[in-house]
Amino acid sequence: MQKENMKWLLCPLCGNKTRNKIREDTILKNYPLYCPKCKQEVLIEAKDLQVNVIKEPDANVPEYKDRF
């Protein structure tokens, strides 16, 4: 059996290794990647060892200027 090419997933925020590895044939969609170093979670997609960060839309919070 031939060894598959594997790669550590790196945190897109701090650049450190996470606890996850992916192979060439791994496909991830909307995967919550957690970094134990910076304690942040980021949604990613991965295919063919290429990792892309999914930008989450900011919440639309109404402003309460006129309230007081």
SS (H, E, C) 33-65: EECCCCCCEEEEEEECCEEEECCCCCCCCCCCH
Report whether 8 contacts 18 (CB < 8 A).
Answer: yes
pTM, to two decimals:
0.73
Q: What is the rounded distance in angstroms from the CA atom of residue 47 to the CA atom of residue 66?
A: 48
Res 63: pLDDT: 62
pLDDT digits (tens, 9 = 90+) for 6-62: 999 999 999 999 999 999 999 999 999 999 999 999 999 999 999 999 986 665 656
Confidence band of 2 (pLDDT split at 50, 70, 90)? low
